[in-house]
Structure 1
Amino acid sequence: MDALVSTEWLAGELGASDLRVVDATYFLPSDGKDAAAAYEAAHIPGAVFMDLAELADTSTDLPMMLPTPEKFASRMQSLGLGDGSRVVLYDSSPYRTSARAWFMLRTFGAHDVAILDGGFAKWQAEGRETASGKEQLRHRHFTVWADSKGVRTLDQMKANLDTGAEQVLDARSAARFSGEEPDPRPATHAGHIPGSKNLPVGELFKPDGSWKRGDALRATFEGAGIDLAKPLVTTCGSGITASVLAFGAHLLGNEAAVYDGSWSEWGADRSTPKAMGAA
């Protein structure tokens, strides 16, 4: 299974015994939308709803930090996602949140994970079948496991300021990155991590909402000053759209890491240096 699959491919695979389809839509509280209610109103037949808001570390004030491996495995088991499952993720969020689910699943040991190109919007636009209500869930075993090599911490990001070993790429808007626009979180400084580059996440997509591919996608990263042959860490506001950049890099063969705390951690920490202006 490719990392990015088409609606046509998924339609042909629906019903396969090892296939699990997951709606990973997430909205910010300020959006005033209910992702769970939207799922129950309409979803791809057989799809289960992964609640990203609930799949977070509740022991920290930082938003959307990775949960413990035990909590993640327990939630996956209850959704019927188990060892040996092929998982296809989709969303209907402007933040492309299926990429955050992809990052989490890979971090916690699932390997056969893909994202549906164009998401639920493309599925619906093509007039494909949808279902409503909740799906019947069957518990499956998901081994508790974690690999932190794709996750960066605050201390690692501070150390990288001195070594420059890894390129840092920020998915936020140009105005947020430059500091022209204040951060929406209280007591969080404006600006960006010194030395980081900026690639607003929307630039990875075509006008129809599908992913850029091949040379077009590569040119987007290179236009932001990134050498995809070198190590890369992605960041954003809270680790969600950073995961989108990481998925885009993955499509081009670069296994980028994600700074999980992102700007909500760095920008609120008084000990970290902040830069202003364009990259």
Structure 2
Amino acid sequence: MEALVTTEWLASELGASDLRIVDATYLAADAGRDAAAEYEAAHIPGAVFMNLAELRDTDTDLPMMLPSAEKFASRMQSLGLGDGSRIVLYDSSPWHTSARAWWMLRTFGAHDVAILDGGLAKWQAEGRETASGKEQLRHRHFTVWADDKGVRTLEQMKANIDTGAEQVLDARSKARFTGEEPDPRPATHAGHIPGSRNLPYDRIFNEDGTWKQGDALRTAFEGTGIDVDKPIALTCGSGITASTLAFGLHLLGKDAALYDGSWSEWGADRSTPKAMGAA
């Protein structure tokens, strides 16, 4: 299974015994939408709902930190996702949150994971079948395992300011990155991590919501001054849209680390340096 699959491919695979389809839509509390309710109203047949709002570390004030490996494995088992599953993720979020689910699954040991190109919008636009209500899948064993080599902490990012061992790429909007627009979180400074570059996450998508690929995707990254062949650490507001950049780099055959605390942590920490203006 490719990392990015088409609606045609998924339609042909529906009903396969090892295939698990997951709606990973996450929406902000003030979005005026209810992701769970939308899932129950219409989802790809067989899909289960992964509640990213709850699939996080609830012992921290930071919004979207990774949960423990045990919590993650337990939630995956209850969704019917387990060892040996081929998992296809989709969403209907403006932030393309299936990429966050993809990054989490890979961090916690799932390897056969893909994203549906164009998501639910493309599936429905093509007149394909949807189901309503909830899907019931039997529990499957998901091995408790975690690999933090692709996760960056506050201390590691502070150290990187001095070493420059990794390029830092920020997925937030230009206005948030430069500090022209204040951060929406209370007591959080505006600006960006010194030395970082900016690639707003929406720049790696086509107008129809599908992912850019090949030269167009590479150009988006390299246009920021980033060398995709050298180590990269990704950041954003809370670790969600940085995941889209991680998946984009994966499509180019590159692995990147992700700073999970992102600006929610860096911007609120008085000990961290902040830069303003363009990179």
Shorter-chain TM-score range: over 0.9
Q: Give the structure 2 partner of residue 58 of structure 1.
A: 58
Other structure's SS at 2:30 match: helix
Cα distance in structure 2, aligned partners of 1:224 and 1:128: 38
Q: Give the structure 2 partner of residue 183 of structure 1.
A: 183
Deviation per CA, 1:94-124, whole angstroms, max 9, x where unpaired? 0000000000000000000000000000000
Q: Give the structure 1 partner of residue 150 of structure 2.
A: 150
Cα distance in structure 2, aligned partners of 1:264 and 1:13: 39
List gaps (5 residues or longer) in structure 1: none
Q: Give the structure 1 partner of residue 199 of structure 2.
A: 199
Q: Does 1:169 align with 2:162?
A: no
Offset, 1:243: 0.3
Deviation per CA, 1:159-185, whole angstroms, max 9, x where unpaired? 100110101000000000000000000
Deviation per CA, 1:19-57, whole angstroms, max 9, x where unpaired? 000000000112121100000000000000000000000
Other structure's SS at 1:29 match: coil
How many pairs does the alignment contain?
Answer: 279
Q: How does 1:124-143 map to 2 (within 5 A)?
A: 124-143=124-143
Contact 1:78-1:140 within 8 A present in 2 as well = yes
Q: Give the structure 1 partner of residue 269 of structure 2.
A: 269
Cα distance in structure 2, aligned partners of 1:250 and 1:166: 17
Contact 1:23-1:48 within 8 A present in 2 as well = yes
Cα distance in structure 2, aligned partners of 1:30 and 1:265: 21
Q: Does 1:24 align with 2:24?
A: yes
Q: Give the structure 1 partner of residue 235 of structure 2.
A: 235
Offset, 1:137: 2.1
Other structure's SS at 1:95 match: coil
Instruction: Give runs of ≥4 in structure 1 deviating > 3 Å.
Output: none
Cα distance in structure 2, aligned partners of 1:145 and 1:32: 36
For 2:4, the aligned partner's letter is L
Q: Give the structure 2 partner of residue 260 of structure 1.
A: 260
Deviation per CA, 1:151-204, whole angstroms, max 9, x where unpaired? 000000001001101010000000000000000000000000000000000000
For 1:80, the aligned partner's letter is G
Q: Give the structure 2 partner of residue 94 of structure 1.
A: 94
Q: Give the structure 2 partner of residue 82 of structure 1.
A: 82
For 1:77, the aligned partner's letter is Q
CA RMSD of aligned residues (A): 0.4
Deviation per CA, 1:60-101, whole angstroms, max 9, x where unpaired? 000010000000000000000000000000000000000000
For 1:81, the aligned partner's letter is L
Cα distance in structure 2, aligned partners of 1:198 and 1:136: 42
Cα distance in structure 2, aligned partners of 1:4 and 1:173: 25
Other structure's SS at 2:88 match: strand
List gaps (5 residues or longer) in structure 2: none
Offset, 1:253: 1.2
Other structure's SS at 2:46 match: coil
Q: Give the structure 2 partner of residue 219 of structure 1.
A: 219
Cα distance in structure 2, aligned partners of 1:76 and 1:161: 36
Q: Does 1:114 align with 2:114?
A: yes
TM-score under structure 1 normalisation?
Answer: 1.00
Give identity over the alignment, percent. Answer: 83
For 2:128, the aligned partner's letter is R
